A and B are shown apart, each in its own frame.
Chain A
Amino acid sequence: MDKIHIIGELNGLGATLLPIMEQNMDNPDRMKKLRWISGSLVATEKNTGVAITIIFEKGSISLKDGPVENPSAALWTDFDTVAAYSCGELNPIKGVIQGRIKVRGNILKLLKMVTIMRSD
Chain B
Amino acid sequence: MALYPSQEWCDKWKDALNNDPAVAESGKNWGVGFKGSLVFEVSPGSGLEKTHYIFLDAKEGKCLESKMMDDAVSLDPGFYVTGSYGDFKLVVKGEKDFIEMVVRGALKLKGDMGKIMRNAKFVRAVANSISSFPNEYLGE
- Residues of A whose CB lies within 8 Å of any CB of B are 10-13, 15-20, 23, 45, 47-48, 50, 79-80, 82-84, 86-87, 119-120
A12 touches B106 (CB 8 A): yes
**Distance in Å: Cβ of A120 to nearest Cβ of chain B:** 8
Q: A11-B104, A50-B104, A84-B120 are in contact. Are A23 and B114 (CB under 8 A)?
A: yes
Chain A residues whose CB sits within 8 angstroms of the CB of B113 once the complex forms:
16-20, 119
Q: Which of A16, A82, A86 has the most CB of B within 10 A?
A: A16
Give the distance in Å from the alpha carbon of A12 to the alpha carbon of B103 in the complex.
4
Chain B contact residues, majority secondary structure? helix
A119 touches B118 (CB 8 A): yes
- Residues of B whose CB lies within 8 Å of any CB of A are 97, 99-109, 112-114, 116-118, 120-121, 124
Chain A residues whose CB sits within 8 angstroms of the CB of B103 once the complex forms:
11-13, 16, 45, 47-48, 50, 79
- By beta carbon, the residue of chain A nearest B106 is A12
Give the distance in Å from the alpha carbon of A19 to the alpha carbon of B100 in the complex.
19
Chain B residues whose CB sits within 8 angstroms of the CB of A19 once the complex forms:
112-114
Q: List 30 A-B contacts (CB under 8 A).
A: A10-B105, A11-B103, A11-B104, A12-B103, A12-B106, A12-B107, A15-B105, A16-B102, A16-B113, A16-B116, A18-B113, A19-B112, A19-B113, A20-B117, A47-B103, A48-B103, A48-B104, A50-B103, A50-B104, A79-B103, A79-B120, A80-B99, A80-B120, A80-B124, A83-B116, A86-B114, A86-B117, A119-B113, A120-B114, A120-B118
Give the distance in Å from the alpha carbon of A83 to the alpha carbon of B122 in the complex.
12
